[in-house]
């Protein structure tokens, strides 16, 4: 693998990495034909982000010679390479990312002004491909706004706020902080913002709905979007299906996939601000019971989006360490009462031609590596 | 100004009087080397030399030109000196405290700091004739490198060579290693005199304090001698255009010769 980024794109790359660091602690790197995929997932698997940098983003792009190279490394190590973010565009002329396979090191070289050369040899771990299953096209609701609008809206919520609720009707959008239905709700401060459809560049509401998701992870994308000036698109459906935030331009595509609370008895219409408190939140704990089954069904029926293409290599059974989410995949067949975190993932990239049940079988193969995880969650 | 109201008789009792109109420069320099609690003050005709040492491996010296009257003297005292606008430093001699007169806006503060027996500062025996490799760099480029250094690395390795990589700073941390290379023809490189390739490692914890002096400086000279001892000399130009020097001596962790 040998890629070269020049000029302003070095800063974009650095910002993408910083943005991913708001999601998870590890950076998953996978050079594919379509471009370089940089991904991250949070520890509870309720948030996933992927930046796909197309070959045009680079001055030179050469994916790995053995097509299945992928690795992960602590994201802090990569952030350290791009530490002085503010001065990056002034000081760095070129950034080169190469795989040194003999030494198992990823070498990132920054060619700076005045002839200064910074070389970082980072160690990495082999890993399975990390790809959440999601399909933007099948979402009933699509909004697109300038990043400034979203940043200004989100500003009204305290940085410590975890979850936020987004409700849409045919001509309006409400954003409010989500409050648990317990004693605290009496003391909680409720904040609600209402935006008219006119504020959006694109407003297509198929079904009036209300979804709740984590705000913290969203902020990571907003920081990137604001600096790039690109509009942010939101794709969402009913509660329980993830909300997808997307930023795209000709050379890159960023998708942030955030799980939403699924509330079976939650009224779909949250139009009136009178009914502020969602009634009956069924889950006793914070995160929802997860609609694993319906998600797997969605896998069957929907097309996987572009970036998920990967060579149809069979799963590599044993050369990687135990991964917690491969265990979770194995548990997928069990009752869906896990946190909504573990929902999205296909542990090994299935190609669209693979049948879902084959995928399940291959997941089983993976599971056999780990210790007998037959403490299948039962609540 | 009020400091001048000291009578001649008062002034005569001091064996050292050092005056500064703007003590901020002194304050900054002292902060740059005050990584330990105590410092040795050495006053000569040429100015003031303040020395701080750490674990017999590291020595920092600050040379400050001040208006000095009096004799050669040396004492040890607290290195954290609080200064404001105008300063007069007076010393009666052995056993007496260091007296500081600080004047700002007409208010004079008198501060007496106890002095102690100074230990003999280590003589690193670093003389110019033994210098194997020497470079002088503009500080800006080093400042950035030092601010980015991987602190999980226990050592900073410095390679100086007449051929590639010329001047290289390396770290070996938790996530891997990193190298910062300065070519000899870089426009940040003011002087490049390397006779043979030398690679030495120095404890990061010892060199970390030097970043304060680096931050103040405009140029830095890096020299190593045949034993691998490191000398860093920082040229600090203060607001009045006056020049001060801060130098660090550090002994190597291990000597590696390639």
> Which residues of chain A are within 8 Å of residue B179 when distances are taken between CB atoms?
117-119
Q: Is A97 on the interface with B (CB under 8 A)?
A: no
**Rounded Cα–Cα distance for residues A323 and A346 (Å):** 13
User: CB A120 to CB B185 under 8 A?
Assistant: no
Which DSSP category does B171 fall into?
A: E
User: CB A121 to CB B177 under 8 A?
Assistant: yes
Please give the torsion angle defined by the CA atoms of residues B180, B183, B189 and B193, in that order, rounded to the nearest 10 degrees.
110
User: CB B188 to CB A114 under 8 A?
Assistant: yes
Q: Is A103 on the interface with B (CB under 8 A)?
A: no
User: CB B148 to CB A80 under 8 A?
Assistant: yes
**In chain A, pLDDT over 70 holds for what percent of residues?**
67
Q: Each residue of B154-178: pLDDT tens digit?
A: 999 999 999 989 999 999 998 899 9
**pLDDT at residue B166, as a whole number:** 92
Q: Is A122 on the interface with B (CB under 8 A)?
A: yes
Nearest alpha-carbon partner for A108 in A123, A119, A92, A100: A119
Give the closest of B144, B147, B178 to A119, CB-based.
Answer: B178
* Domains, chain B, ordered by start: 8-114 (3.70.10.10), 131-250 (3.70.10.10)
* Shortest Cα–Cα distance, B194 to chain A (Å): 18
User: CB B150 to CB A80 under 8 A?
Assistant: yes
Helices (H) and strands (E) in chain A, counts: 8, 21
**Rounded Cα–Cα distance for residues A296 and A103 (Å):** 39
In terms of CATH architecture, what is A141-261? Box (3.70)
* Start-to-end CA span in chain A (Å): 45
Q: Each residue of A15-67: pLDDT tens digit?
A: 999 999 999 999 999 998 889 999 999 998 889 999 999 999 999 998 877 76
Q: Is A318 on the interface with B (CB under 8 A)?
A: no
Residue pairs between chains A and B whose CB atoms are closer than 8 Å: 59
Find which of B147, B153, B164, B175 to mutate to test the A interface (most A CBs within 10 Å of its CB): B175
User: CB B176 to CB A121 under 8 A?
Assistant: yes
Range A122-135 average pLDDT: 86
* Shortest Cα–Cα distance, A2 to chain B (Å): 18
**pLDDT at residue A5, as a whole number:** 95
Vertex A256: Cα angle to A306 and A331 (nearest 5): 85
Q: Is B123 on the interface with A (CB under 8 A)?
A: no
For residue A82, the chain B residue with the least C-alpha distance is: B148
CB B250 within 8 A of CB B58: yes
User: CB B181 to CB A119 under 8 A?
Assistant: yes
Q: Each residue of B15-43: pLDDT tens digit?
A: 777 777 767 777 778 888 878 888 888 87
User: CB B180 to CB A117 under 8 A?
Assistant: yes
Q: Is B178 on the interface with A (CB under 8 A)?
A: yes
Backbone phi, then psi, for B177, in 5-degree steps?
-110, 160
Backbone phi, then psi, for B113, in 5-degree steps?
-115, 130
**Rounded Cα–Cα distance for residues A178 and A337 (Å):** 21
**pLDDT at residue A296, as a whole number:** 42
Give the closest of A87, A117, A123 to B176, CB-based.
Answer: A123
Range A175-194 average pLDDT: 77
CA distances (Å), origin B244, targets A40, B42, B220, B248: 50, 15, 12, 14
Q: Each residue of B220-256: pLDDT tens digit?
A: 999 999 888 999 999 988 777 778 889 999 988 865 5
Give the closest of A73, A87, A120 to B178, CB-based.
Answer: A120
**In chain A, pLDDT over 90 holds for what percent of residues?**
40
**List of residues 6+ apart from B24 with CB closer than 8 A:** B83, B85, B239
**Positions of CATH 3.70.10.10 in chain A:** 2-126, 141-261
Q: Is B151 on the interface with A (CB under 8 A)?
A: no
**List of residues 6+ apart from A132 with CB closer than 8 A:** A41, A48, A50, A242, A257, A344, A345
**List of residues 6+ apart from A107 with CB closer than 8 A:** A96, A97, A98, A99, A100, A119, A120, A121, A122
CB A164 within 8 A of CB A178: yes
Residue A280: which region, alpha, beta or left (left: phi > 0; alpha: psi -120 to 50)?
left
> Which residues of chain B are within 8 Å of residue A118 when distances are taken between CB atoms?
145, 148, 178-181
Residue A156 in tokens? 């009204």
Find which of B157, B170, B174, B178 to mutate to test the A interface (most A CBs within 10 Å of its CB): B178
Q: Is B168 on the interface with A (CB under 8 A)?
A: no
Give the closest of B177, B178, B185 to A115, CB-based.
Answer: B185
Between these two residues, A285 and A376, which has the higher pLDDT value? A376
Classified by CATH at the fold level, domain A2-126 comes out as: Proliferating Cell Nuclear Antigen (3.70.10)
For residue A84, the chain B residue with the least C-alpha distance is: B148
Is pLDDT above 80 for B129? no
Residue whose tokens read 């600080």: B102
> Which residues of chain B are within 8 Å of residue A117 when distances are taken between CB atoms?
179-181, 183
Q: What is the ipTM of this complex?
A: 0.79
For residue B189, the chain A residue with the least C-alpha distance is: A114
**Rounded Cα–Cα distance for residues A146 and A149 (Å):** 6
**pLDDT at residue A276, as a whole number:** 32
Range A188-202 average pLDDT: 89
Residue A185 in tokens? 């709700």
For residue B190, the chain A residue with the least C-alpha distance is: A114
User: CB B179 to CB A118 under 8 A?
Assistant: yes
Q: Is A76 on the interface with B (CB under 8 A)?
A: yes
**Helix, coil or strand: residue A324:** helix
Q: Each residue of B177-223: pLDDT tens digit?
A: 999 999 999 889 999 999 999 999 999 988 888 888 899 899 999 99
**Rounded Cα–Cα distance for residues B70 and B45 (Å):** 8
User: CB A118 to CB B188 under 8 A?
Assistant: no
User: CB A121 to CB B144 under 8 A?
Assistant: no
- pLDDT category, A110, cuts 50, 70, 90? very high
**pLDDT at residue A293, as a whole number:** 42
């Amino acid at each position: 693998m040998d890629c070269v980024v020049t000029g302003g794109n070095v800063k974009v790359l650095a910002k993408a990495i910083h943005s991913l660091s708001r999601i998870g602690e590890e950076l998953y790197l996978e050079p594919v034909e379509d471009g370089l995929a940089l991904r991250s997932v949070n520890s509870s698997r309720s948030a996933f982000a992927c930046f796909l940098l197309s070959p045009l983003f680079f001055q030179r792009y050469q994916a790995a010679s053995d097509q299945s190279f992928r690795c992960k490394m602590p994201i802090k190590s990569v952030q350290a390479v791009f530490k002085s973010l503010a001065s990056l565009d002034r000081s760095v002329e070129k950034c080169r990312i190469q795989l040194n396979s003999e030494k198992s090191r990823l070498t990132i070289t920054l060619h700076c002004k005045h002839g200064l050369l910074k070389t970082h040899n980072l160690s990495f771990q082999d890993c399975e491909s990390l790809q959440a299953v999601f399909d933007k096209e099948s979402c009933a609701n699509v909004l697109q706004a300038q990043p400034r609008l979203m940043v200004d809206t989100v500003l009204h919520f305290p940085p410590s706020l975890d979850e936020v609720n987004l409700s849409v009707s045919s001509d309006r959008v409400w954003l409010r902080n989500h409050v648990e239905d317990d004693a605290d709700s009496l003391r909680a401060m409720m904040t609600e913002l209402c935006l008219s459809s006119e504020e959006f560049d694109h407003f297509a509401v198929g079904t009036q709905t209300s979804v709740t998701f984590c705000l913290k992870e969203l902020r990571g994308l907003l920081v990137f979007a604001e600096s790039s000036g690109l509009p942010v698109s939101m794709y969402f459906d009913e509660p329980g299906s993830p909300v997808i935030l997307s930023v795209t331009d000709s050379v890159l595509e960023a998708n942030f996939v955030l799980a939403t609370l699924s509330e079976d008895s939650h009224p779909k219409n949250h139009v009136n601000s009178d009914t502020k408190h969602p009634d009956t939140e069924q889950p006793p704990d914070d995160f929802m019971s997860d609609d694993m089954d319906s998600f797997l069904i969605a896998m069957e029926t929907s097309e996987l989006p572009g970036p998920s293409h990967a060579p149809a290599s069979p799963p590599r059974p044993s050369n990687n360490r135990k991964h917690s989410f491969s265990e979770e995949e194995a548990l997928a067949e069990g009752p869906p009462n896990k946190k909504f975190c573990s929902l999205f993932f296909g542990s090994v990239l299935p190609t669209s031609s693979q049948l879902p049940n084959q995928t399940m079988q291959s997941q089983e193969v993976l599971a056999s590596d780990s210790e007998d995880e037959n403490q299948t969650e039962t609540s | 100004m009020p400091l001048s109201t000291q009578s001649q008789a008062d002034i005569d009792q001091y064996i050292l009087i050092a005056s500064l109109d703007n003590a901020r420069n002194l304050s900054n320099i002292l902060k740059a080397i005050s990584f330990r609690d105590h410092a040795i003050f050495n006053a000569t005709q040429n100015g003031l030399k303040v020395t701080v040492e750490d674990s017999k491996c590291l020595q920092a010296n600050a040379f400050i030109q001040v208006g000095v009257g009096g004799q050669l003297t040396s004492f040890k005292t607290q290195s954290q000196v609080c200064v404001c606008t105008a300063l007069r430093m007076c010393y009666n001699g052995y056993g007496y405290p260091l007296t500081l007169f600080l004047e700002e806006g007409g208010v004079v503060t008198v501060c007496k700091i106890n002095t102690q027996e100074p230990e003999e500062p280590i003589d690193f025996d670093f003389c110019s004739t033994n210098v194997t490799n020497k470079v002088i760099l503009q500080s800006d480029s080093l400042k950035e490198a030092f601010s980015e250094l991987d602190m999980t690395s226990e050592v900073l390795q410095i390679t100086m060579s007449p051929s590639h990589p010329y001047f290289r700073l390396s770290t070996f941390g938790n996530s891997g290693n990193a190298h910062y290379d300065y070519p000899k023809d870089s426009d940040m490189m003011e002087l490049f005199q390397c006779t043979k390739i030398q690679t030495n490692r120095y404890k990061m914890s010892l060199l970390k304090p030097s970043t304060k002096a680096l931050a103040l400086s405009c140029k830095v000279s890096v020299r190593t001698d045949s034993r691998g001892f490191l000398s860093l000399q920082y040229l600090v130009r203060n607001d009045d255009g006056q020049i001060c020097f801060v130098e660090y001596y550090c002994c190597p962790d291990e000597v590696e010769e390639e």
